[in-house]
């Protein structure tokens, strides 16, 4: 890798139907502070558009951002429904204390299955919750031996991809408890 990589996620943006419900979820339940609200009007894609854009801070300086449009037609055009799929989500890194706090606040706020679930991936433990927009947010805590695991995956990332694309779909996650005996 000779090219300089981006330093961090600046923000990721989504459209919401209800900024206040989104604020309550991300700020009051999850604990991400609302750090900026931009109320704007711009000529965009052939029309003047009025919208509000809110940013919720991550510890590294990045943010989750959400738009809401004043015009229902703009809202419909730019805010299509987020498809419910566990394979369409954002994952945020947390430590054990942060993950426990988020889990506790999610439960206290009344979230339960299927709105929330936990997966033990072996290389990490993930808490998933569905936000007010129908988007899945994952709070991912690395396994204690994450450096060793990541070093191993780095050495075989290309060969494992090549193997899988060639049709050999064997599992290579020996860190999951159900595969540890294999």
pTM: 0.85
- Which regions of the chain carry the CATH code 3.10.180.10? 7-80
Domain 7-80 has CATH 3.10.180.10: yes
pLDDT at 179 over 70: no
CB-based contacts of 22, cutoff 8 Å, min separation 6? 16, 54, 66, 131, 132, 133
pLDDT digits (tens, 9 = 90+) for 81-120: 877 787 888 999 999 999 999 999 999 999 988 889 999 9
- DSSP structural state of residue 51: E
C-alpha 11, offset from chain centre: 11
Greater confidence, 72 or 174?
72
Q: Dihedral of CA 137/103/116/21: which sign?
A: negative
pLDDT digits (tens, 9 = 90+) for 24-51: 999 999 999 999 999 999 999 999 999 9
């Amino acid at each position: 890798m000779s090219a300089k990589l981006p330093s961090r996620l600046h923000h990721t943006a989504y459209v919401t139907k209800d900024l206040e419900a989104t604020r309550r979820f991300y700020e009051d339940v999850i604990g991400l502070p609302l750090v900026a609200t931009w109320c704007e009007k711009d000529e965009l894609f052939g029309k003047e558009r009025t919208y509000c854009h809110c940013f919720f801070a991550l510890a590294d300086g990045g943010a989750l951002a959400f738009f809401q449009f004043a015009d229902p037609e703009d809202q419909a055009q730019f805010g299509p429904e987020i498809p419910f799929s566990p394979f369409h989500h954002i994952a945020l890194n947390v430590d054990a204390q942060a993950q426990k706090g988020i889990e506790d606040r999610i439960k206290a706020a009344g979230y339960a299955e299927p709105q929330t679930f936990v997966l033990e991936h072996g290389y990490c433990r993930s808490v998933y919750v569905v936000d007010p927009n129908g988007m899945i947010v994952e709070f991912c805590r690395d396994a204690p031996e994450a450096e060793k695991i990541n070093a191993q995956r780095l050495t075989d990332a290309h060969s494992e991809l090549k193997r899988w694309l060639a049709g050999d779909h064997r599992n290579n996650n020996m860190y999951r408890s159900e595969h540890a005996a294999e």
